[in-house]
Structure 1
Amino acid sequence: MIALTLDRIAEITQSRICGSARPTDVVTGPVVIDSRQAGPGSLFVALNGERVDGHDFATTAVAAGATAVLASRPVEGPHLLVAGGDDEVVAALGRLAREVVDRLPQAEIVGVTGSSGKTTTKDLLAQVLGRLGPTIAPPGSFNNEIGHPLTALRADEQTRFVALEVSARGIGHIAYLCEVAPPRIGIVLNVGSAHMGEFGSRAAIAQAKGELVEGLPSADAGGVAVLNADDDAVATMAARTDAKVVFYGLAENADVRATDVVLDTEGRATFVLGIAGAQAPVRLSLVGVHQVHNALAVAAAAVELGMGIEEVAVALSEAEPVSRWRMEVSERADGVTVVNDAYNANPESMAAALTTLAALATDRRAFAVLGHMAELGQTHRAEHERVGRQVARSGVDVLVVVGDQAAPIAEGARGVADWQGEIVGVSDVGQAVAALAERLRPKDIVMVKGSRVAGLEKVAEQLTGVEAAK
Structure 2
Amino acid sequence: MDPTTLNELARAVAGEVMRGDPATAVGPDVVIDSRLATPGAVFIAFPGERVDGHEFVDAARAGGAAVAIVTRPVDAGIPQIRCGDAQEALSALARDVVGRARQGGLRTVALTGSSGKTSTKDLIAQVLEAAGPTVAPVGSFNNEIGVPLTACRVTARTRYLVSEMGARGHGHIAWLCGIVPPGIAAVLNVGTAHLGEFGSIDDIAAAKGEIVEAVPAGGWAVLNAADPRVAAMASRTRARIAWFSADGRPGLPGDVQVWASGIEVDALARPRFTLHVADGGAERAAPVALRVLGRHAVANALAAAAVGIAAGLDPADIAGTLSSAGPRSRWRLELTERADGVAVLNDTYNANPDSMRAGLEALRDLGVARRRAHPGARLVAVLGEMRELGPGAAAAHAAVGRMAAEAGVDRLVCLGPFATDLAAGARSADPPVATVDQAEDKSTVAALLAPYLRTGDAVLVKASRGAELDTVAADLLKGGGGECSQS
Same fold flag (TM > 0.5): yes
Quote the Cα distance in structure 2 between the aligned partners of 1:90 and 1:100: 16
Contact 2:242 2:310 in 1 (8 A): no
Quote the Cα distance in structure 1 between the aligned partners of 2:148 and 2:26: 16
Partner of 2:100: 103
Contact 1:384 1:408 in 2 (8 A): yes
Two-structure CA RMSD over aligned residues (Å): 1.3
Contact 2:384 2:464 in 1 (8 A): yes
Matches within 5 A, 1:366-405: 366-405=379-418
* Local SS of the residue matching 2:20: coil
Quote the Cα distance in structure 2 between the aligned partners of 1:284 and 1:268: 6
Quote the Cα distance in structure 2 between the aligned partners of 1:398 and 1:50: 42
Contact 1:402 1:432 in 2 (8 A): no
Quote the Cα distance in structure 1 between the aligned partners of 2:435 and 2:216: 54
Residues 445 and 102 of structure 1, relative CA distance in 2, 3 Å threshold: same
Letter in 1 for 2:240: K
- Please identify, of 104-113 and 50-59, the stretch whose mean Cα deviation from structure 2 is larger: 50-59
Q: Does 1:226 align with 2:222?
A: yes
Quote the Cα distance in structure 2 between the aligned partners of 1:64 and 1:179: 32
Partner of 2:190: 191
Quote the Cα distance in structure 2 between the aligned partners of 1:36 and 1:457: 24
Aligned partner of 2:458 among 415, 430, 445: 445
Aligned partner of 1:237 among 228, 233, 239: 233
Matches within 5 A, 1:400-411: 400-411=413-424
Quote the Cα distance in structure 1 between the aligned partners of 2:244 and 2:448: 43
Partner of 1:248: 244
Partner of 1:41: 40
Q: Does 1:259 align with 2:254?
A: no
TM-score, reference length from structure 2: 0.92
- Please identify, of 437-446 and 319-328, the stretch whose mean Cα deviation from structure 2 is larger: 437-446
Residues 55 and 269 of structure 1, relative CA distance in 2, 3 Å threshold: same
- Please identify, of 110-119 and 73-82, the stretch whose mean Cα deviation from structure 2 is larger: 73-82
Question: How many angstroms does 1:49 deviate by?
Answer: 3.8
Contact 2:16 2:83 in 1 (8 A): yes
Question: How many angstroms does 1:123 deviate by?
Answer: 0.7
Question: How many angstroms does 1:52 deviate by?
Answer: 2.3
Question: How many angstroms does 1:27 deviate by?
Answer: 2.0
Contact 1:336 1:443 in 2 (8 A): yes
Contact 1:372 1:454 in 2 (8 A): yes
Partner of 1:326: 332
Matches within 5 A, 1:16-165: 16-18=16-18, 20-49=19-48, 51-76=50-75, 77-83=78-84, 88-105=85-102, 106-165=105-164
User: What CA deviation, in whole Å up to 9, does each residue of 1:274-326 have, x standing for no partner?
Assistant: 00111111000000111000000000111121211110100000001110000
Contact 2:404 2:433 in 1 (8 A): no
Question: How many angstroms does 1:112 deviate by?
Answer: 1.2
Quote the Cα distance in structure 1 between the aligned partners of 2:208 and 2:433: 40
Letter in 2 for 1:247: W
Residues 229 and 175 of structure 1, relative CA distance in 2, 3 Å threshold: same
Partner of 2:484: none
Quote the Cα distance in structure 2 between the aligned partners of 1:461 and 1:258: 35
Question: How many angstroms does 1:427 deviate by?
Answer: 2.4
Question: How many angstroms does 1:190 deviate by?
Answer: 0.5
User: What CA deviation, in whole Å up to 9, does each residue of 1:371-406 have, x standing for no partner?
Assistant: 010000011011111111111121100000012333
Contact 1:373 1:406 in 2 (8 A): no
Quote the Cα distance in structure 1 between the aligned partners of 2:417 and 2:240: 47
Quote the Cα distance in structure 2 between the aligned partners of 1:149 and 1:427: 41
Matches within 5 A, 1:245-324: 245-249=241-245, 250-253=247-250, 255-276=257-278, 277-324=283-330
- Please identify, of 391-400 and 409-418, the stretch whose mean Cα deviation from structure 2 is larger: 409-418
Letter in 2 for 1:290: H
Quote the Cα distance in structure 2 between the aligned partners of 1:275 and 1:49: 48
Gaps of 5+ in 1: none
Letter in 2 for 1:440: L
* Local SS of the residue matching 1:389: helix
Contact 1:126 1:163 in 2 (8 A): yes
Question: How many angstroms does 1:366 deviate by?
Answer: 0.2
Contact 1:410 1:423 in 2 (8 A): yes
Q: Does 1:432 align with 2:429?
A: no
Q: Does 1:465 align with 2:464?
A: no
Letter in 1 for 2:12: I
Quote the Cα distance in structure 2 between the aligned partners of 1:368 and 1:158: 46
- Please identify, of 24-33 and 382-391, the stretch whose mean Cα deviation from structure 2 is larger: 24-33
Q: What is the identity percentage for the equivalent residue pairs of Structure 1 and Structure 2?
A: 48
Quote the Cα distance in structure 2 between the aligned partners of 1:265 and 1:361: 9
* Local SS of the residue matching 1:287: coil
The count of residues paired between Structure 1 and Structure 2 equals 458
Partner of 1:216: 215
Residues 453 and 47 of structure 1, relative CA distance in 2, 3 Å threshold: same
* Local SS of the residue matching 1:103: helix
Residues 335 and 11 of structure 1, relative CA distance in 2, 3 Å threshold: same
Question: How many angstroms does 1:96 deviate by?
Answer: 0.9
Contact 2:26 2:41 in 1 (8 A): yes
Question: How many angstroms does 1:217 deviate by?
Answer: 1.1
Contact 2:412 2:433 in 1 (8 A): no
User: What CA deviation, in whole Å up to 9, does each residue of 1:110-161 have, x standing for no partner?
Assistant: 0111001111111111111111111111110011111111111111111001
* Local SS of the residue matching 2:349: coil
Quote the Cα distance in structure 1 between the aligned partners of 2:70 and 2:450: 50
Letter in 2 for 1:229: A
Question: How many angstroms does 1:60 deviate by?
Answer: 1.6
Quote the Cα distance in structure 2 between the aligned partners of 1:108 and 1:428: 48
Letter in 2 for 1:240: R
* Local SS of the residue matching 1:154: coil
* Local SS of the residue matching 2:292: strand
Letter in 1 for 2:265: L
Contact 2:397 2:418 in 1 (8 A): no
Contact 1:229 1:251 in 2 (8 A): no
Question: How many angstroms does 1:50 deviate by?
Answer: 5.1
TM-score, reference length from structure 1: 0.95
